[in-house]
Structure formats: structure tokens, C-alpha cells
């Protein structure tokens, strides 16, 4: 049994942000991303695979793992698979994943040592890389401002390499309000500053740190900027204006989580 | 006077790697990248601009700077400009830049404290970000292995934000041979390792360091791998397999160039 035209149309609509938000669902593609979703216990609803593209051992054991979890497996032809996904050379499998419902972020109740907040980041590859980096350094919760690129954008999902399944991500956050609430609840607010801040090498994690990553182009919005307790400067310059936001975030996470 | 069809055809061919390599030239696009090229003294041969798109003060002063350097300025219509460039919404100006001739890398003669080598990096955005990061941390020379993505790929150029104009970049390097020569000449060879290496926080720059950044997917090739003097591990994991190559490079550059 194959997919009906209506089913294909419904799935294809998930290439658009509007429908992903309406349905609270998105498609992931490729063996690796499906493996990551399963390993992290993400709510995979069903998978669509092109049998001829899934004959290597790794792909087969993924299919076994999916059916072991009683996730419906739908064989499709190569054309259908390509139609469901955005990439030019589909990778044999795609899966429909339900977007998690994270609920509000409560700064008073949260006891994690370091939470990351992302303000107004537009580039999807950058956000995906940032998620992957955050997981590497043990971050559990992450806040995304309303004006940050959508979490389930296919490029974010791909470049996160599955990291989005391992984080508690609060989307659509009013960061100014949340940062103010966090500050009142005893959190230290940190942000990178291109020049003039505390040298990064001297900073240590403080226990309840909210690290805010802003857009490279505009910096933090003024309301948010004036809440910052600790401005951190990564030494350098050499003729470039700034570091990429994900690189700066990686360095600050490395510094804040390091043992010194 | 506008461009002839033949001229447009010749310029458009530079969208292909083959012709960029043959002509040792490439096109850059946008006010910012042209500014960066000028500021770094890159060999800009001529510029093509759409007059209606260059009416803001910043664009005008770029045009003045270009003509101040006696760089030929060719007005073109919006369609021609779009044809020359790859992006959907051309930014008012493009310029033809001659690729620098860097010559061979001589490990015995080089006195820089830290040189970066890139092995088999496939993603253009990653390479561009890495170049930008290298410049930030004061790197002057950079080696690219033969199997690394082409330096003048438009995505590399864009994501480098002009950093490629500020580095001495040796392309098409046989890294195994060069690394062996560098080692014989007293350089220390460093590479990141996902687990089991020296903890990154304890590493300092050694004065003549060749930091080799490998592909995230495959790691270093065995011949190169066995030359490494110091393997460095960035602590972390949290369920992701590895850090993005540019992020790892950024953290190691930060660590090696930092004052401790």
C-alpha cells in the first residue's frame, strides 16, 4: 500500500513553516537523523522508506529498531520520497516527528548550572550548530527568542545532527521579560561583547548562569542588553569585525563548563 | 557602455570551479565583501554595479573608494548583475578578484607561532567560518589539503566575510608530506581527538604549532594521524558524536592563543 495523493500533499506541506507550526510536526531525513531521533526517544510517528535505498546493514537495523518500537513503516518509491523532502538526493528514509511540548521556562524552579538563550539568530545552519555545541557541553535547556529562526526549519534540524532531540527547547520566548525574571530569581546574565568586556579566559561558570547569544549583526536589543551582569570579550580581531555567533557560543560554553 | 554577451558569458563561467581554477579569478558580491576586499588590499580587477542599487551613502563611498584605486567600474542592469551572481537577490555590486599566488609553504622558513592546516573539509560554510575564526585569533598562514572544498567557492567566500583576503592561504597541499616536513623542521603537530587526548584546558601554545583540523566525519587520514605530537580533547559529549569542525577549531585557537 502506498501513500495517497492527499497524504503526500499533507506531508509536503510540512516543508512550510506555517504548517509545521499548525501541525506541531516536522519531517526528518536520512538514516543518521532517524537513528538520533530514536536514540533520544523523540516522538517519531511514522517513517517512509524507499526499500532499494535501505539495503545496507546500518539502514536495515534502523528499520528493525523502528518496527521494534511499533512505529509504522511505509514503503514508498524514490519519487515520493524525493517529494516529501527538500534535499536533491533523498537518503532512503524520512520520518514524521511530533514537535515536543516544552511548556514555559521557569527561572525560579530551574536548578541547571547553565542555560542558553538565543536572541534574534537568523541563520538556520548557525542555530543547528549551536544546538549541537550546547549538547556537547552538557546544556539541558535552551530558550529561543520569538525572532530567532524556527527550530524545525529543515536546515536547523539537519545541522543540529539530532541535538534538538536532546534539549529542552523553549520556543517563542519574550527574552527581555524572561531574562528579567531570571535575574530577579538569582541568575547571572552573561553575554559576549566584541570589545571591552571581561577577558573570556578569566571567566568561570557561576552555578546559575543564563548565557545569552545575540545576533552577530545587531548585538543584543537594548532592553535585554541593559540586564546583562557580565559582558565577556573573546580576545582577538585581526581585521574581522566579529566571530560567528555559534563559534562565540562554543568558546564561551567551553570556558564556562571547563575545569580550571 | 554595457557588457557584451561574450563578457557576461565569460564572467558567468566563474560560477564553475573549473573556470575559477583556470582563470585564477572569482567574483565576489555585495557592498560588505567589496569593502573587505579593498580594505585588505585584495587584487580587485573591476566591479559591476547596478546604479539604482547603490544610492545609499555606504554604497556610494564604496564606489568612490573603488574609483580612487582606479579600479574600472562598469554599470550594468539588474538582470545582468543577477546573471553574474549566484544569489537570488543581488546586492547592487559584484567584483572580479584575482586569486592570489601564495607559493609553497616552507615550514623551515616560517616563523609564525601558529599555522592552521585543514584536511578534507567538505562543507563550504564550515571552511568560510573557519577562515573568519582563524583571522580573529591572529592566524596568518593556512594550508588547505587537496581534498578540501575549493577556497573560491562562493559559499566559502561569503561565509568567510572577507577573511580569505587577510590570510596567506596555501591551496592544494599534500598535507601528509608537508606535515612530515614541518615536524622535521621542529614544528609541533596538534589535532583534536573526540576522546582520550590531552584535556584542552591544560594546553598552551608552543610557539611553532601546526594545528590540523580534520573532517568531522572521517577524522585524519592514517598517514597524517600518525604524525601528530599532541592530541587534544575538548571535554564534553552529552549524546552528540562530535563537535562541528569549525567550532572545534575555534575552541582550540582560543585555547592556544590565550594568555594563561
Cβ contact (<8 Å) for A39 and B132? no
Which is nearest to B3 in space by CA: B38, B47, B54?
B47
- Are B209 and B93 in a shared domain? no
- Are B247 and B172 in a shared domain? yes
Q: A172 touching B, CB under 8 A? A: no
Write phi, then psi, for A166 (nearest 5 degrees): -110, 10
Count how many domains chain B has. Answer: 2
What's the gap in Å between the CA of A6 and the closest CA on chain B?
32
Q: Is residue A106 domain-resident?
A: no
Q: A137 touching B, CB under 8 A? A: yes
Domain boundary among A71, A98, A125: A98
- Are B77 and B138 in a shared domain? no
Q: Is residue B73 domain-resident?
A: yes
C-alpha dihedral over B186, B192, B197, B203, to 10 degrees?
60
Cβ contact (<8 Å) for A136 and B240? yes
Q: Is residue A223 domain-resident?
A: yes
Instruction: Tell me whether strands A25-29 and B114-118 are parallel, antiparallel or unpaired.
Output: unpaired
- Are A75 and A122 in a shared domain? no
CATH code for the domain in which residue B132 is found: 3.40.1280.10
Per-residue pLDDT, B89: 67
Per-residue pLDDT, B103: 81
Q: Which domain holds residue A135?
A: 114-257
pTM, two decimal places: 0.94
Q: Is residue A103 domain-resident?
A: no
- Are A147 and A251 in a shared domain? yes
C-alpha cell at A138: 552538557
What's the gap in Å between the CA of B2 and the closest CA on chain A?
34
CATH code for the domain in which residue B87 is found: 3.30.1330.30
Domain boundary among A69, A98, A127: A98
- Are A241 and A141 in a shared domain? yes
- Are B168 and B240 in a shared domain? yes
Q: B125 touching A, CB under 8 A? A: yes
pLDDT-wise least confident of A62-66, B87-91, B193-197: B87-91
pLDDT band per the 50, 70, 90 thresholds, residue A195: confident
DSSP β-bridge partners for residue B74: B48
- Are B57 and B167 in a shared domain? no
End-to-end CA distance of chain B, in Å? Answer: 60
Q: Is residue A108 domain-resident?
A: no
- Are A124 and A239 in a shared domain? yes
Q: Is residue A45 domain-resident?
A: yes
What's the gap in Å between the CA of B222 and the closest CA on chain A?
24
- Are A130 and A250 in a shared domain? yes
Residues of B in Cβ contact (< 8 Å) with A125 = 125
Cβ contact (<8 Å) for B161 and A240? yes
- Are A129 and A235 in a shared domain? yes
Per-residue pLDDT, A89: 67
Q: B124 touching A, CB under 8 A? A: no
- Are B145 and B224 in a shared domain? yes
Average pLDDT over residues B184-189: 96
Distance between CA A64 and CA B88 in Å, rounded?
43
Per-residue pLDDT, A215: 82
Task: Express each pLDDT in B212-257 by its tens digit.
Answer: 999 877 788 889 999 999 999 999 977 777 899 999 999 999 999 9
Per-residue pLDDT, A106: 93
Amino acid at each position: 500500500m502506498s501513500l495517497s495523493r492527499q497524504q503526500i500533499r499533507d506531508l509536503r506541506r510540512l516543508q512550510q513553516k506555517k504548517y509545521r507550526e499548525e501541525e506541531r510536526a516536522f519531517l526528518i531525513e536520512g538514516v543518521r537523523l532517524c537513528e538520533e531521533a530514536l536514540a533520544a526517544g523523540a516522538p517519531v510517528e511514522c517513517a517512509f522508506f524507499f526499500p532499494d535505498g535501505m539495503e545496507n546493514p546500518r539502514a536495515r537495523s534502523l528499520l528493525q529498531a523502528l518496527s521494534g518500537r511499533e512505529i509504522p513503516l511505509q514503503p514508498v518509491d524514490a519519487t515520493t520520497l524525493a517529494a516529501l523532502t527538500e534535499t536533491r538526493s533523498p537518503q532512503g528514509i524520512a520520518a514524521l516527528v511530533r514537535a515536543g511540548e516544552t511548556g514555559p521556562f521557569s527561572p525560579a524552579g530551574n536548578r541547571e548550572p547553565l542555560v542558553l538563550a538565543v536572541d534574534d539568530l537568523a541563520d538556520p545552519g548557525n542555530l543547528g550548530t549551536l544546538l549541537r555545541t550546547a549538547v556537547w557541553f552538557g546544556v539541558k535547556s535552551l530558550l529561543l527568542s520569538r525572532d530567532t529562526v524556527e527550530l524545525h526549519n529543515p536546515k536547523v534540524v539537519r545541522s543540529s545532527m539530532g541535538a534538538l532531540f536532546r534539549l529542552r527547547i523553549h520556543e517563542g520566548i519574550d527574552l527581555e521579560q524572561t531574562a528579567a525574571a531570571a535575574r530577579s530569581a538569582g541568575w547571572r546574565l552573561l553575554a559576549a561583547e566584541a570589545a571591552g568586556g571581561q577577558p573570556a579566559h578569566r571567566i568561570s561558570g557561576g552555578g546559575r548562569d543564563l548565557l545569552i547569544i545575540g545576533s552577530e549583526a545587531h548585538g543584543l536589543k537594548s532592553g535585554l542588553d541593559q540586564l546583562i551582569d557580565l559582558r565577556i570579550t573573546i580576545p582577538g580581531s585581526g581585521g574581522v569585525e566579529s566571530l560567528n555567533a555559534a563559534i562565540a557560543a562554543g568558546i564561551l560554553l567551553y570556558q564556562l563548563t571547563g575545569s580550571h
